[in-house]
């Protein structure tokens, strides 16, 4: 799985998301992350096809992720939902399929369905999203396969130190959604000063921090120059003091729902 991907949460289906995905692939992105509930899988699929043609690449050079929505959880429905997602995307299979949220009393059955999809080689890898440590502990009591990744909210105001340590111990790779706190950290003085000293944007500094601290990232953008900037991360490094300064911005503060208290 490429550690840098394009996220498409809240990106309108149709030409908007198709153009964003196409541009990302042309600019070198190889990981695209969507979900059934985003209601844009058809547009993502169109963008994938257009991007591959323009970039001159084949399907096996891309890594495509989607997610099982809460209303589709449970064994039989999860299997159907996977088929529906691949059909909307126009793909034979996904490289990664995730349980989107830990729906109580359902996610273990959903996981059994994902395990069967994996065993039957209908999906490249399976994982979870928004799982806290106790959700994973419950899952692992009956799971035959350890989730490949856990995709959770993570940014300088929610560093997720304890969860990262647990995931590392279990060999579950962490992926950050809302890695820029949905833009909420762009005016932070510490980050602004750091970005100016490095000749980079605040977004680039924060995305680099994620990568250097062991997290994959899926920033969202529909703007051509932002898609480029978000991937232009490999000609600089943060030093130990800079990484520490960002870690110390942690306020355990979310911009999205709490996985222990959601009702959708």
- The string of DSSP letters for 111-127 reads HHHHHHHHHTTSBS-EE
Low-confidence spans in the chain with pLDDT less than 70:
none
Domains delineated in the chain: 6-184+213-224 (3.20.20.100)
pLDDT at 208: 98
pLDDT at 111: 98
- Is 38 annotated as catalytic? yes
d(CA 2, CA 144): 25
Residue 177 confidence (pLDDT):
98
Contact 14, 39 (CB under 8 A): no
| CA distances to 36, 145, 166, 264 from 94, in Å | 13, 17, 27, 25
pLDDT at 121: 98
> What's the rounded Cα separation, in Å, for the pair 101 and 114?
14
The DSSP call for residue 150 is E
**Close Cβ partners of 181 (under 8 Å, ≥ 6 residues apart):** 155, 156, 157, 158, 255
Q: Exposed, middle or buried by CB within 10 Å (0-12, 13-18, 19+), for 225?
A: exposed
Annotated catalytic residue within 38, 75, 97, 228? 38
Please tell me the predicted confidence (pLDDT) of residue 185.
Answer: 96
Residue 155 is encoded by which pair of tokens?
A: 């940014």
pLDDT tens across 125-182, in order?
Answer: 999 999 999 999 999 999 999 999 999 999 999 999 999 999 999 999 999 999 999 9
Model's pTM, two decimal places? Answer: 0.97
């Amino acid at each position: 799985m490429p550690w840098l991907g394009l996220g498409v949460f809240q990106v309108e289906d149709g030409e908007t998301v198709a153009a964003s995905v196409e541009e990302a692939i042309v600019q070198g992105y190889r990981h695209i992350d969507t979900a059934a509930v985003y209601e844009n899988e058809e547009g993502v699929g169109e963008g994938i096809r257009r991007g591959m043609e323009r970039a001159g690449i084949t399907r096996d050079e891309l890594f495509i992720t989607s997610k099982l929505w809460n209303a589709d959880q449970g064994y039989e429905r999860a299997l159907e939902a996977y088929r529906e997602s691949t059909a909307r995307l126009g793909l034979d299979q996904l490289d990664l399929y995730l349980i989107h949220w830990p729906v109580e009393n359902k996610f273990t059955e959903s996981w059994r369905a994902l395990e069967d999809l994996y065993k039957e080689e209908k999906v490249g890898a399976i994982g979870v999203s928004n799982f806290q440590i106790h959700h994973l502990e419950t899952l692992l009591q009956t799971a035959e396969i350890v989730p490949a990744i856990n995709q959770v909210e993570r940014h300088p105001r929610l560093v997720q130190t304890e969860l990262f340590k647990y995931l590392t111990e279990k060999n579950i790779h962490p992926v950050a959604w809302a890695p820029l706190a949905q833009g909420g950290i762009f005016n932070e003085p510490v980050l602004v000063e750091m970005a100016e000293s490095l000749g980079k944007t605040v977004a680039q500094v924060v995305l680099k921090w994620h990568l250097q601290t062991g997290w994959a990232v899926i920033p969202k953008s529909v703007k051509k120059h932002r898609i480029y900037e978000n991937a232009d991360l490999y000609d600089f490094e943060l030093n130990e003091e800079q990484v520490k300064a960002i870690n110390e911005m942690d306020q355990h503060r979310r911009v999205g729902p709490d996985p222990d208290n959601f009702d959708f």
